[in-house]
């Protein structure tokens, strides 16, 4: 088990953890396919990928985190974490009792924050076992000052339950660029366009067109995170123009692709 109580997979490698102080540091080497299944912590967590890309899922949806983004997870929030490709996850685990006044109210939901250069240096610094108590206390105080929320929304792609809509969802997950309409799909799965539209809205809370857009943007995130060109990603997930893809990405995530995956300003 890790210091946070998180079940660690076979590739989990513990970093040196402080024996005192309010912040623990956990480090996990995640190979392709490594996943921490659904769990929660009695402490707050700041999940960050020192290398690679993480995907963190909560009841609200999924966040894809390149190295310039981290995710604040309040204590008690269920979540799962997976590596997209290979990654090194370094997380801070923070005692709720020592958070600044009002912190629990202002940070009560999962929140994406900027992993600034200073924050990225502080995380391994706090992982030093021999760090003096006074130095540790000063560094821990700075961590709270560096947590800067970003205007990024999560991507929720609910799975439909009906066998007919589920078959469509599986096919589109395998090929997000598939251009077929609900009328086209209806001929394949044996249902009318109207029936499928009603089922998608009832089962996912989204009209089919918006659901498919969310699915496409979710498929684009790991490709962009690994450096694929925006134009290539747009074509791969079914957009005929880069501008249409960028507009859809901004509408879904809150930022254009270049800003989401760009360098964090110091």
Sorted by where each begins, the domain ranges of the chain are 23-146, 163-261
Angle (deg, nearest 10), helices 163-174 and 208-225: 30
Is residue 123 within 8 Å of 131, Cβ to Cβ?
no
Is the pTM higher than 0.85? The answer reads no
CATH topology of domain 23-146: Jelly Rolls (2.60.120)
Alpha-carbon distance of 238 to 208, in angstroms, equals: 15
pLDDT band at 21; cut points 50, 70, 90: low
Alpha-carbon distance of 76 to 48, in angstroms, equals: 18
Q: Is the pLDDT of residue 7 over 60?
A: no
SS3 157: coil
**In this predicted structure, what is the pLDDT of residue 20?**
53
Residues in the chain: 266
Is residue 225 within 8 Å of 261, Cβ to Cβ?
yes
| The listed CATH number (3.40.47.10, 3.40.640.10, 3.40.710.10, 1.10.10.60) that belongs to domain 163-261 | 1.10.10.60
| Percentage above 70 pLDDT, the chain | 90
Partners of residue 64 on adjacent β-strands:
55
Longest Cα–Cα distance of the chain, Å, equals 69
The mean per-residue pLDDT over the stretch 28-44 comes to 87
- Structure tokens given for 36: 């921490």
Lowest-pLDDT choice from 9-13, 64-68, 98-102, 140-144: 9-13
pLDDT digits (tens, 9 = 90+) for 136-193: 889 988 998 899 888 777 777 888 999 999 999 999 999 999 999 999 999 999 999 9
Residue 197 backbone dihedrals phi, psi, to 5 degrees = -60, -45
Is residue 28 within 8 Å of 11, Cβ to Cβ?
yes
SS3 162: coil
**In this predicted structure, what is the pLDDT of residue 253?**
83
Using CA atoms of 105, 125, 51, 41 in order, give the dihedral in degrees to the nearest 10. Answer: -40
Alpha-carbon separation of residue 129 from 16, 45, 59, 203 (angstroms): 6, 19, 35, 50
Alpha-carbon distance of 65 to 42, in angstroms, equals: 23
């Amino acid at each position: 088990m890790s210091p946070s109580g998180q079940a660690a997979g076979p590739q989990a490698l513990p970093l040196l953890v402080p024996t005192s102080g309010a912040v623990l540091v956990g480090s996990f080497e995640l190979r392709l396919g490594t996943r921490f299944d659904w769990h929660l912590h009695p402490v707050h967590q700041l999940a960050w990928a020192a290398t690679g890309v993480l995907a963190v899922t909560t009841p609200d949806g999924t966040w894809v985190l390149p190295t310039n983004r981290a995710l604040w997870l309040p204590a008690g929030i269920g979540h799962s974490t997976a590596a997209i490709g290979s990654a090194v996850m370094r997380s801070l685990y923070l005692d709720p009792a020592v958070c600044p006044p009002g912190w629990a109210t202002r940070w009560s939901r999962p929140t994406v924050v900027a992993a600034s250069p200073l924050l990225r240096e502080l995380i391994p610094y706090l992982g030093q076992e021999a760090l003096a108590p006074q130095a540790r206390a000063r560094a821990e105080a700075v961590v709270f000052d560096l947590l800067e929320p970003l205007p990024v929304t999560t991507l929720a792609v609910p799975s439909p339950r009906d066998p007919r809509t589920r078959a469509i969802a599986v096919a589109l997950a395998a090929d997000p660029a598939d251009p077929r309409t609900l009328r086209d799909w209806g001929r394949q799965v044996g249902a009318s366009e109207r029936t499928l539209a009603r089922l998608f809205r009832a089962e996912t809370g989204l009209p089919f067109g918006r659901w498919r857009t969310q699915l496409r943007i979710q498929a684009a995130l790991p490709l962009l995170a690994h450096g694929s060109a925006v134009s290539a990603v747009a074509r791969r997930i079914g957009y005929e123009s880069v501008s249409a893809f960028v507009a859809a990405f901004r509408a879904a995530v809150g930022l254009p692709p270049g800003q989401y995956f760009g360098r964090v300003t110091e």
